Structure 1
Amino acid sequence: MRDVLPIAYFEHLQTANWHAPEVTVSAHEICDRIAPVRQRLENQMPDTETLMSAEFILGFCSDLASTLDNCNQAGFRNSEAWQSFMSELTIEFSLRETPFSENGTYILSQLFSSHLTTLRLLTSWLLVDALGRTLNEQKLSISQQGLGLLLTHLSNGGSPIYDVEDMRGKFPDCYQ
């Protein structure tokens, strides 16, 4: 399950700020430790509404954080705002009728930039991958070069710009 190695490396760099260097988990170890959490998600694969609920996302992020011995408690900045965003998204863009390249872009950007408090990229990427799988999309993959491009695009997707135009129609192919 090394398909998220570039994202694991990003999270490794993030966790170096939380812990003393001697307890920082390597990118390869992150991939190994999260494998059972990912497997549970794939085995239980909830419907899209459950998968995108604040409660499910918070539980999934908490599972990842505990697996990685992350001291920071997983959470949402505002779970009501997330539910409002998802309501607007499903009303404006039906998840099954709008291309995944658009829905995935918006959801990934919002989770990463505005809603999650810890393991933001890892949690966002894995949940959007799971969402894609419920919509019969291929498994997401990312390269080292793709990670840099993704982070550049995500920097525009958050406050105060909220512009994901650079990602629209290109997600997820341009990150492979």
Structure 2
Amino acid sequence: MSEELNDGLDAEERLLLIIEDDEAFGRTLTRSFERRGYQVLHATGLEEAEALLEEHSPGYAVVDLKLKNNTSGLLCVQMLHKHDPEMLIVVLTGFASINTAVEAIKLGACQYLAKPSNTDDIEAAFNHVAGAADIEMTNRSTSIKTLEWERIHEVLAETDFNISEAARRLGMHRRTLARKLEKQRVK
């Protein structure tokens, strides 16, 4: 358990909201954080989270980027930050891209983690709020495949995950895009 988070914090200050539409993953995260001394609230979407905020004021939140009905977790980040600008918000995603990472931080997230991430990673992200200028720089440039996947995801998000419209905007056949998405499927 992180000493930084435990020093002087009572149970009310260790209230965590998890916004995750995958029920099994949500339960796993909930149990894991409860074992670490957090009180955990779980919502599967924006509306449930808003209802919980009417009665609770969590200091921490974990938000999945892609929620049910193609709802963006970025809307949740925006709503949470508006509710409490001091809340530490970590975004988790199986669809990581530079574009969504930048937007998540602009909207109020303190960190952005690609799945799979575990409780240790998330709690470390809560502790690593300030930027670090001495972070090691990589000598590798971004691969063409990564750039392509980021562009595809960006266009999918712009079109509310409408594959036909995204394919049209990308200048490719719908079936080609569907095949690329099937190859990149992240569970």
Q: TM-score, normalised by structure 2?
A: 0.30
Q: Higher RCO, 1 or 2 (CA under 8 Å, sep at least 6)? A: 1
User: Which structure is higher in strand share?
Assistant: 2
Structure with the higher helix share, 1 or 2: 1
Based on CA coordinates, which of the two structures has the bigger radius of gyration? 2
